[in-house]
Amino acid sequence: MTDLLYSEAESDLRAAVRSLLTDRAGPAELPARVEDGTPCDPDLWSALATGIGAAGLLVPEKLGGQGAGHREAAVVLEELGRAVTPVPYLTSSVVATETLLALDAGELRGAGELLGDLAAGRKVAVLAVPFTTGPAADPAVGPVAVADAGPVPAVADAVLADVLLVPRPDGLYAVDAADARIEPRVPLDLTRPLATVTLTGSGTGAAPGTRIADADTARAAVRRGLLAGAGLLASEQLGVAEWCLEEAVRHTRERHQFNRPVGSFQALKHRMAQLWLEVAGARAAARNAADALATGSAEAPLAVAVAQAYCSRVAVRAAEECVQLHGGIGMTWEHPAHLYLKRAKADQLALGSAGHHKDTLAALVDLRPPVTPEARQR
């Protein structure tokens, strides 16, 4: 049976991560760091990855990790979403790590040292595919994107990476980031950098780097990495939505008009109550996806598709409501609400749009589109 509740260990992990982020990366300080062009704090990433050990949660202890699982990683992502923290956790500690873990024993030996470095926070790796690439739960739905020889646009956190995992038609390659041209782009979400990656090679010909998997293994591994990323992204979206709802309630409770808190007006209470219900639903969907991934359930692709189709919409709506309910102050650069709205909008397209996941969901449950009158006549 799916367990949607948080264990004591998960609650302790949440408290540790939240305490760290409150001390080192509160939302109030973030706009200034974004304006300086240095949103990612290497010391904060080191404290999170090494001090708390969050980077190795998905990695078994025998490979140098913490031997935890997707439920614990989901808790970390909820907290990172609550603070829109600019660290490469989703891309390196989830997508890239999960991709490496999917390699079989023989190929994993070749990537074992890299996996240990990722788990210890010594290196950052990213999967060199566009951040919009979604998992393909079924080959009939659509192929997993494979990087071709040309530039790869919109690779998330590539500017922070030490190693690029490059899927090519003949396999998966680990490429030193120094052997690639990484051109930063201006993203909508200023807390998650995007870049165009072009492999420049280092004398190794058309396939630079070290080949760590053959074509079939690479395809399955990339698919698993993207599936885990999409499933746990729902927890980040949940964190975004929770912060926005709590901040909207706090502000409308403190803001007075006509000698009353504006939050006491029935129209606003109804809006926030409806949003609370939607956030509660998002929590259930996100926890279900994390639990399905943790247990290796055959229903994991279904749970991930449901979570993404629902949570991405809730996060955007919560952020929009947060901005609106703050009135004029919500529109200013100094207030962090705009960072949450941008993260929510960017997450809505990351690792597959809501439409992509709805199509996946329809295919998994054999739900066929309605037949139009024109098609019926044919």
Tell me the C-alpha distance between 317 and 325, whole Å.
Answer: 12
Exposed (0-12), middle (13-18) or buried (19+): which is 54, by Cβ within 10 Å?
buried
DSSP state of 142: -
Name residues whose C-beta falls within 8 Å of residue 209's C-beta, 6 or more positions apart in sequence.
164, 166, 173, 174, 175, 176, 179
Q: What integer best gives the mean pLDDT of the chain?
A: 90
Cα 269 to Cα 99, 202, 259, 316, distances in angstroms: 44, 61, 17, 19
Tokens of 33: 């760091």
Average pLDDT over residues 278-283: 98
Terminal Cα-to-Cα distance of the chain (whole angstroms):
46
User: What angle is formed at CA 230 by the lines to CA 209 and CA 142, rounded to 5 degrees?
Assistant: 75
Closest C-alpha among 356, 322, 357, 355 to residue 340: 322
Least confident of 122-126, 205-209, 279-283, 287-291: 205-209
Residue 166's beta-bridge partner residues? Answer: 173
Q: What is the mean pLDDT of residues 327-332?
A: 89
pLDDT in tens, 9-39: 999 999 999 999 999 887 777 888 888 877 8
